[in-house]
Chains A and B, each alone.
Chain A
Amino acid sequence: MSALFEVDHLQKAFGGLNVTRDVSLALCKGDRVALIGPNGAGKTTFVNLVTGHLRPDSGQVLMGGEDISNFNPMKRVRAGLVRSFQVTRLFAEMTPEEHVALAILQRQGKSGRMAGSFQAMPDVMRETYEILETLNLTALGRVPVSEISYGQQRLLEIALALTLRPKVLLLDEPAAGVPHSDTFLIENALAQLPADLAVLMIEHDMDLVFRFAKRVIVLAAGEIIFDGLPVDATNDLRVREAYLGGYANGSAA
C-alpha cells in the first residue's frame, strides 16, 4: 500500500546538539505504530517538526504524496495531520463541552460565525456529548478545565484530537500523568479509533505499547535505530544498549 504520510531525511540541531538525525519513516492507512526511546531522544521534537511547530534544518514531510513542508501548523491540521501534546495544552477557563464544540465547529468551517451559539446547534451538542461520553467526561461537560484533574485533562486532549477526524494522528505520551487506574480509559479510546486512521503514539508504558502497536520505531539520540515488529525490538541489541545508556546518563545527571 502506498504511504499516507511520509517523512524524508529530517534534520534538526539546537545549537550544536543534533536532536533529529536523518529521520525517515512512512505510515500507511490503519497503521498502529509506537515511537519509543529514552528521555531526550528527540521524540517530541520529531512531532514538533512534523506538525510545523518547529522548522527543520532540512528534510521533507509529505501527506498523500503532497509536500507539506512549507505549510504552517494550521494548514497541516487541515491536511489531516493532527497531534496531541505531551504537556496538556487546553483553555483553562473553558469547559470540556466548549473545547469539543469549538473543535467540531472548526472542523465544519463554522468557527468564524459571529452570531448564534453552539448550544443552540443540536447536531454540535449531540456530537460533543458523544465524544465526551467515549472518554467518560460527560459529567464534567460544564466544569472549567482548571477545576478538573490532570488525568481528565489528558482525556480531553485526546478527545480534541479525535474530534478533528484526522487521517494521521500523532499522540505524544497520551498516558503521561494519567493515574494508573484511569489508563484503561485511554486504552478504550485508542481501541475505538477509526480503523483506517494512521496512528503514531509516543509512549513509555511498554505494556500499553505491546497491546497497541503492530510496529515499533525506536529513536535514540535523534536517530532511528530500530523499525520493526514489537517482539523483535525487545531482543535488539542496539535498543537494549540505548535504553541502558539512556538510564545510565539519566541517573548521572
Chain B
Amino acid sequence: MSAGASVTAMPAENRGWQRDLIGIAAILVAAIAGYFLFPNNLALLTRMIAIMLLVLSLDLVTGYCGVATLGHAALFGSGAYAAGIAAAHFGITEPLTMIAIGAVGGALAGLISGVVILRGHGLAQLVLSIAIIHLFHEAANKASEYTGGSDGLSGISPDPILGVFEFDLWGRTAYVFGIVLLLLVFILLRILVRSPFGMLCRGIRQDPVRVSAMGASVKLTLIKMYVISGLVAGVGGAFNAVSTQVVGLDSLSFTNSAEALVMLVLGGVGSLYGALIGTIAFVWIEDLVSAANPFHWLTIVGALLIAVVLFAPKGLYGTAATLVERYRRGGK
C-alpha cells in the first residue's frame, strides 16, 4: 500500500457511513421480514429487541472498554422497575415518558455499578459485578411494596404511543415501537463509538497505562461509559416493561446478566453488529431447542459456546467480518 493511495483514497469516514447505511438497511429488512414471517411470534421478536438493547449496552463496557462484568442486568432491571413503578404506582403511563424514566433509572444503576465495579481489576472486578447483581436483586425482592417482590410487578398499562398507536393484543404496536427505539439507539451508538470518546474507550481496553500516559483519565472515562451504557440498558428494560406490561425479578438476575454476556461472545465482542447478531442467534436457538427438548437446552447452548470459542473466537459476526476482509485483500 502506497502513502498516496492510503491518504487520498475515499476518507475512512465516508466509508464508515456507507457501512452504517447498509447496517441500518439490514436491520430494517430483518425487522420487516420478521414481522411478515413470524406474525404469531411477535412477542418473541419483541423480547429479542429488549435483550438486544441489554447486549448492546453490555458491549459498550465489555467490548469497547474491556470491563469484565457478570452483573449487567442490574442496569436493565433498574430501567424496567423504574418505568414499571412509575406506571403502576405513580400513574405515569405515557410510553415515551416511561422509556425516559427507565433510561434515567438505568443510568443511575450504571453510575452505581460503575463506581463499585471499577474499583477492582480482573477477577476482583468480576466478583464485584456478581455482588452488585445479587444486591440489586435482593433490594428489589425486599422492596416488595413497590416491586411486587417475587410475584413481580403488574398493573402496568401504558397509554397509546403519542396518544394514537394503541398497544394491541398481537403485539404489533409494541414490535414497531421496539424497532424504532432500536434503530434510534443503534444510530446514536454508531456515532458514539466513532467519536473521540469512543476512540479513547477503545484505547483504554487495549492499554490503560498508555491512556493515562497521554494525560487522559481512565476512571472518569469508564464511569461516563457506564452511565451511557445504563441509559441504553435502561431503555431496554423500560421497553420490556412497556411491551410485556409486567416486570419480574428475573430481569435483575445473575442468569440474565450471564446470558447477555454469552450472547455478546456468541455474536462478537466489540462490535455493535456482533451484539445484535449474538442476541438473535441465542434467543432463536433457545426458542427452537427449548420447545423441542426443554431438558437438553442448556447442553446444546454449552456445546454451541464451546464451538464458537474454539473455532470462531471473534464470534459469529467477528469471524464473518474477518473472512470478508481476507477475501477482499486477497481479491485485490
Residues of A whose CB lies within 8 Å of any CB of B are 51, 53, 72-74, 77-78, 82-83, 85, 89-94, 98, 101-103, 105-107, 110-120, 129, 138-139, 141-143, 160, 164
CB A68 to nearest CB in B, in angstroms, measures 13
A114 to B214 CA separation, bound complex (whole angstroms): 19
Given contacts A112-B196, A119-B13, A142-B6, contact A93 B214 (CB under 8 A): no
The contact of B215 among A77, A113, A117, A142, by CB within 8 Å, is: A77
Residue of B nearest to A161 (CB): B213
Interface residues of B in 180-205 (CB under 8 A from A): 191-192, 194-200, 202-203
The dominant DSSP class at the B interface is helix
Residue of B nearest to A112 (CB): B197
A113 and B196 form a contact (CB under 8 A) = yes
Listed stretches B144-152, B216-224, B257-265, B294-302; interface member = B216-224
Instruction: Verify if B291 is at the interface (C-beta below 8 Å from A).
Output: no
| Closest chain A residue to B208, Cβ basis | A89
**What are the residues of chain B within 8 A of A107 when measuring CB–CB?**
215
B197 CB to closest chain A CB (Å) equals 5
Tell me which of A85, A89, A101 has the highest count of chain B C-beta atoms within 10 A of its own C-beta. Answer: A89
B206 touches A94 (CB 8 A): yes
Contact of A91 among B1, B12, B195, B203 (CB under 8 A): B203
Which residues does chain B contribute within 8 Å of A114, judged by CB atoms? 191-192, 195, 197-198
Apart from the given pairs A74-B215, A89-B213, 14 other A-B contacts in the complex at a CB distance below 8 Å: A77-B213, A77-B214, A78-B215, A82-B213, A85-B213, A90-B206, A91-B203, A102-B203, A105-B196, A106-B215, A106-B216, A117-B16, A139-B1, A164-B215
CB distance from A76 to the nearest CB of B (A): 8
Q: How many residues of B contact A (CB 8 A)?
A: 33
Q: Which residues of A contact B214 (CB under 8 A)?
A: 77, 102-103, 106, 160, 164
B residues with CB within 8 A of A = 1-3, 6-7, 11-13, 16, 191-192, 194-200, 202-203, 206-207, 209-210, 212-218, 221, 224
A139 touches B2 (CB 8 A): yes
Beta-carbon contact of A92 and B206 below 8 Å: yes
Check if A98 sits within 8 Å of B191, measured CB to CB.
no
**30 A-B interface contacts by CB (under 8 A):** A51-B213, A77-B214, A85-B213, A90-B210, A91-B203, A93-B202, A94-B202, A94-B206, A101-B199, A103-B214, A111-B197, A111-B199, A112-B196, A112-B197, A112-B200, A113-B195, A113-B197, A114-B195, A114-B197, A115-B195, A116-B195, A117-B13, A118-B196, A119-B11, A119-B12, A120-B13, A129-B7, A138-B3, A138-B7, A139-B1
Q: What 6 A-B pairs are tightest by C-beta distance, nearest first?
A: A77-B215, A139-B3, A91-B206, A89-B210, A119-B13, A73-B212
Q: Out of A73, A78, A142, which one reaches B12, CB within 8 Å?
A: A142
Nearest CB on B from A121, distance (A): 9
Give A14 to B191 CA distance when docked, in angstroms. Answer: 46
CB neighbours of B6 from chain A (8 A): 139, 141-143
Judge whether A117 and B203 touch: CB under 8 Å. no
Residues of A within 8 Å of B203, CB to CB, are 91, 94, 102
Complex contacts, A120 vs chain B, CB 8 Å:
13
Query: Are B196 and A110 in contact (CB-based, < 8 A)?
Result: yes
Residues of A within 8 A of B200 (CB): 102, 106, 111-112
Shortest beta-carbon distance, A75 to chain B, in Å? Answer: 8
Residues of A within 8 Å of B216, CB to CB, are 74, 106, 111
A48 to chain B, nearest CB (A): 10
Task: Note all chain B residues with C-beta closer than 8 A to A77.
Answer: 212-215
CA distance A53 to B221 in the complex (A): 19
The reply to whether A98 and B213 form a contact with Cβ atoms under 8 Å apart is: no
Bound together, the chains give a CA A138 to CA B11 distance in angstroms of: 15
Residues of B within 8 A of A105 (CB): 196, 199
CA distance A143 to B2 in the complex (A): 11
Q: Is the CB of A116 within 8 A of B217?
A: no
Tell me if B217 and A74 are in contact (CB < 8 A). Answer: yes
Determine the residue in chain A with the shortest Cβ distance to B207: A89
Question: How far apart are the CA atoms of A142 and B9 in the complex, in Å?
Answer: 11
A138 to B210, CA, bound (A): 22
- Given that A73-B212, A107-B215 are known contacts, is A102 also in contact with B196, CB under 8 Å in the complex? yes
What is the chain A residue whose CB lies nearest that of B197? A114
CA distance A241 to B218 in the complex (A): 44
A94 to B196, CA, bound (A): 13
Q: How far is the CA of A138 from the CA of B6 in the complex (A)?
A: 9
Smallest CB–CB gap between B300 and chain A, Å?
A: 33
**Complex CA distance for A139 and B212, rounded to whole angstroms:** 27
C-alpha gap A111/B203 in the complex (Å): 11
Contacts of A110 in B (CB 8 A): 196
Contacts of B11 in A (CB 8 A): 119
Q: Which of B16, B195, B218: most chain A Cβ within 10 A?
A: B195
What is the CA–CA distance of A196 and B27 in the complex, to the nearest angstrom? Answer: 56
CA distance A183 to B80 in the complex (A): 60
Known: A72-B212, A103-B214, A115-B191. A91 touches B207 (CB 8 A): yes
In the complex, A99 Cα to B6 Cα: how many Å? 17
Residues of B near A102 (CB, < 8 A) are 196, 199-200, 203, 214
